[in-house]
């Protein structure tokens, strides 16, 4: 090799070393052996600005210390809320040091798993192998019976695949030993791993179970009002306009004497469940069950106004009567021949409503003469009759068709009570039925209908015939 070739080769090496492309998106710096800044590319200006240094100024001591010790691992420094990894490459032959920076802020945020975190934190690779778990997750790791590098349950990996495919984004609830955990699974495909953030929700689940049990002792309106804070749990009452409903099964005492306790419990449960569902549908507050009897009131804790409350109550009663035919078939299928007929009484009045009882036990209910009158109307009603007071009639007469009946005398009320029988919704009760087909013909005009009992017997006979062809 000639001297000229040697000089040319050295020049190429020098040009290569001195080449600092300004277009490089990552920070590139050059300092002398004493730590003075010799060069910075455009991306490196943000770094030097955060350090408060310019050309010929000393860079931070950490850089100088790291370069003099000739450490191989990169140096991490925070610059203006960002974390950079600096690869420091001394070139003593040329009396300078090259510094190559990389912004690792996102990586640091993603891979930060503080062992002091009180909640379980785990990391797995995309194949489901455990890469990391903190101290709080050690009980989960032991319960799964796995070590670092071994597979986590397939349920975890399946959930991560669903998240990656944007099919699901809900927390995953898993029971582990005697605890329930909610896992937020965060796939990070760019870095080839999956973060798993766990929360022990055992206590919350237990509380939820208790609350679900408590709901069976409250009407939905009462339950919601208590837990929303609208209804305080203390002895507290108020006077309010309510529409009160009572119903019971006619001749139920006779039915109970003929049935086994198990059968009786089953049919009364089915009946009360069906009636309660209808009451809830129309917004009624189910006050109590008294054997086969049901007490419901409208107007508290939620109300749509006295008129709408009264209409809702009567519409509820009409649907309950319609539901009876379905329940009768169930009774017959169980071999119960006794008829299922109910009596309904409804009255609207100003009542005292709220929490009654002792300081240790409360009962949310309503009391007063209005409640007593609704009960008396029910006991005076005939089978499958909805008997209402004039107070209720005046509120519903535009929406519900009623028939005026005789006045009745009620215990503890000095004056006679004007009563009305509910016939149906306005426009429905008087609607004609005119149907004709092969072998079948039916015409009915409720406005001129007489001898109703006889007509009902004829229809029942017709239904028995039709049932044979089902």
Per-residue pLDDT, 459: 86
Residues 6+ apart with CB under 8 A from 30: 20, 37, 38, 39, 40, 96, 97, 98, 99
For residue 343, being part of any structural domain is answered with yes
CA distance 284 to 32: 85
For residue 409, being part of any structural domain is answered with yes
Does one domain contain both 74 and 135?
no
Query: What CATH number has the domain bearing residue 49?
Result: 3.30.450.20
Paired sense of beta strands 386-389 and 342-357, if any: parallel
335 pLDDT band (50/70/90 cuts)? confident
For residue 213, being part of any structural domain is answered with no
Average pLDDT over residues 17-22: 54
Does one domain contain both 101 and 121?
no
Does one domain contain both 349 and 247?
yes
Domain boundary among 134, 169, 203: 203
Does one domain contain both 271 and 199?
no
Nearest to 97 by CA among 142, 65, 125: 65
The percentage of residues in the chain with a pLDDT greater than 70, rounded to a whole number, is: 85
Does one domain contain both 81 and 141?
no
Mean pLDDT, the chain, rounded, equals 84
Handedness of CA 360, 361, 366, 368 (dihedral sign): negative
The region of weakest confidence among 50-64, 260-274, 420-434 is 420-434
Length of the chain as a residue count: 470
Each residue's pLDDT tens digit, 192-207 = 888 888 999 888 888 7
Most confident among 162-171, 182-191, 281-290 (mean pLDDT): 281-290
Scanning the structure block, which residue is given the tokens 């409903």?
Answer: 245
* pLDDT higher at 188 or 271: 271
1 pLDDT band (50/70/90 cuts)? very low
CA distance 426 to 387: 17
Task: Tally the domains of the chain.
Answer: 4
The region of weakest confidence among 7-16, 178-187, 238-247 is 7-16
Average pLDDT over residues 279-289: 93
User: Is 112 a residue whose pLDDT tops 70?
Assistant: no
Does one domain contain both 191 and 53?
no
User: Is 457 a residue whose pLDDT tops 60?
Assistant: yes
Does one domain contain both 76 and 177?
no
Does one domain contain both 164 and 36?
no
Average pLDDT over residues 419-444: 76
For residue 406, being part of any structural domain is answered with yes
Tokens matching residue 119: 């909640």
Does one domain contain both 169 and 57?
no
Domain boundary among 108, 131, 154: 108
For residue 53, being part of any structural domain is answered with yes
For residue 121, being part of any structural domain is answered with yes
Does one domain contain both 412 and 279?
yes
Per-residue pLDDT, 440: 79
For residue 222, being part of any structural domain is answered with no
Each residue's pLDDT tens digit, 132-164 = 999 899 999 999 999 999 999 988 878 777 765
Tokens matching residue 202: 């055992």
| Structural domain containing residue 11 | 3-108
Does one domain contain both 49 and 98?
yes
Query: What CATH number has the domain bearing residue 271?
Result: 3.30.70.1230
User: Is 190 a residue whose pLDDT tops 60?
Assistant: yes
Does one domain contain both 277 and 166?
no
CA distance 368 to 465: 49
Each residue's pLDDT tens digit, 87-106 = 998 888 888 888 989 888 77
Phi/psi of residue 76, nearest 5 degrees: -100, 130
Tokens matching residue 89: 């490459």
252 pLDDT band (50/70/90 cuts)? confident
Each residue's pLDDT tens digit, 30-45 = 999 999 999 898 889 9
For residue 223, being part of any structural domain is answered with no
Domain boundary among 203, 220, 254: 203
């Amino acid at each position: 090799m000639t001297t000229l070739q040697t000089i040319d080769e050295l020049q190429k090496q020098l040009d290569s070393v001195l080449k600092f492309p300004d277009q490089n998106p990552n920070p590139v710096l050059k300092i002398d052996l004493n730590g003075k800044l010799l060069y910075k590319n455009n991306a490196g200006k943000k770094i030097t600005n955060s350090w408060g240094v310019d050309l010929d100024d000393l860079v931070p001591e950490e850089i100088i210390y790291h370069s003099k010790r000739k450490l191989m691992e990169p140096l991490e420094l925070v610059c203006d809320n960002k974390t950079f990894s600096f690869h420091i490459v001394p070139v003593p032959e040329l009396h300078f040091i090259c510094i190559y920076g990389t912004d690792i802020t996102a990586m640091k945020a993603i891979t930060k798993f503080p062992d002091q975190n009180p909640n379980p934190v785990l990391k797995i690779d995309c194949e489901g192998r455990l890469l990391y778990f903190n101290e709080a997750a050690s009980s989960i790791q032991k319960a799964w019976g796995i070590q670092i590098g071994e597979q986590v349950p397939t349920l975890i990996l399946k959930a991560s695949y669903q998240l990656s495919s944007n099919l699901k984004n809900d927390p995953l609830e898993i029971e582990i030993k005697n605890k329930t955990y909610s896992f937020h699974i965060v796939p990070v495909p760019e870095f080839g791993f999956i973060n798993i953030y766990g929360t022990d929700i055992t206590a919350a689940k237990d509380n939820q179970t208790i609350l679900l049990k408590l709901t069976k002792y409250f009407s939905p309106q009462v339950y919601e009002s208590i837990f929303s804070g609208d209804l305080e749990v203390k002895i507290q009452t108020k006077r309010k306009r309510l529409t009160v409903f009572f119903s019971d099964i006619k001749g139920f005492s006779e039915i109970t004497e003929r049935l086994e306790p198990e059968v009786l419990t089953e049919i009364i449960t089915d009946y009360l469940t069906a009636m309660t569902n209808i009451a809830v549908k129309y917004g009624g507050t189910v006050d109590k069950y008294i054997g086969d009897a049901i007490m419901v009131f409208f107007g508290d804790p939620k109300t749509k106004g006295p008129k709408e409350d009264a209409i809702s109550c009567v519409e509820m009663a009409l649907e309950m009567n319609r539901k009876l035919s379905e329940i009768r078939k169930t009774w017959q299928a169980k071999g119960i021949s006794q008829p299922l007929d109910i009596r309904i009484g409804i009255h609207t009045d100003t009542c005292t409503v709220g929490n009654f009882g002792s300081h240790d036990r409360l009962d949310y209910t309503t009391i007063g003469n209005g409640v007593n009158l609704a009960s008396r109307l029910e006991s005076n009603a005939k089978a499958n009759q909805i008997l209402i007071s004039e107070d209720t009639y005046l509120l519903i007469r535009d929406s519900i068709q009623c028939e005026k009946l005789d006045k009745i005398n009620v215990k503890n009320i000095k004056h006679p009570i004007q009563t009305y029988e509910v016939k149906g919704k306005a426009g429905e009760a008087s609607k004609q039925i005119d149907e004709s087909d092969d072998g079948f013909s039916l015409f009915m005009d409720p406005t001129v209908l007489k001898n109703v009992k006889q007509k009902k017997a004829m229809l029942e006979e017709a239904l028995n015939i039709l049932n044979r062809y089902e």
